[in-house]
């Protein structure tokens, strides 16, 4: 394997990880509700240099990364940004996010965990809209095997109720 950094060999590979909304669910009202993905949740592009234990990559509340040292970033992760419309004005919303997995070209997968909204409390504005970010954690398999170069993608389910 060709090394990306200063003479060391790494078992990992470079990845671009994007997540899309796979399933949407909204409550029914007299107006149609929509969820718009403004910016997809992305765990960036990185090299994982050791997978002998589960390695975690976290996107924090302020949308910056906090990763185990085995992750070497080429492109930083980013929070997803979403807008919901069609709700009554000044209405508190509950957003439920389901964990998932990211699949790529090899047998190893990444697990998507601890999805949450930023802010944690979401209320629609005077027009019945609300915009928020989604963050989460990515876990490697921890089985000692390497990941094949390529894109690892997946989706998650978002349910919005009032």
pLDDT digits (tens, 9 = 90+) for 93-149: 999 999 999 999 989 999 999 999 999 999 999 999 999 999 999 999 999 999 998
pTM, entire model: 0.83
Edge-to-edge strands, sheet with 122-123: 71-75, 41-48, 14-26, 152-161, 92-97, 122-123
Is the pLDDT confidence value at 20 over 90? no
């Amino acid at each position: 394997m060709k090394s990306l950094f200063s003479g060391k060999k790494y078992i990992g590979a470079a990845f671009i990880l994007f997540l899309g909304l796979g399933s949407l669910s909204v409550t029914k009202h007299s107006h149609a509700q929509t969820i718009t993905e403004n910016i997809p949740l992305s765990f960036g592009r990185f090299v994982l240099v050791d997978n002998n234990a589960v390695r975690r990559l976290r996107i924090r509340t302020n949308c910056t990364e906090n990763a185990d040292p085995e992750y070497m970033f080429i492109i930083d992760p980013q929070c997803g940004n979403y807008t919901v419309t069609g709700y009554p004005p000044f209405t508190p919303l509950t957003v439920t996010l389901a964990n998932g997995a990211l699949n790529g070209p090899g047998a190893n997968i990444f697990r998507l965990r601890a999805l949450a909204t930023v802010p944690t409390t979401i209320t629609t504005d005077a027009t019945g809209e609300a915009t928020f970010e989604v963050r989460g954690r990515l876990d490697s398999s921890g089985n000692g095997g390497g990941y094949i170069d390529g894109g690892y993608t997946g989706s998650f389910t978002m349910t919005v109720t009032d």
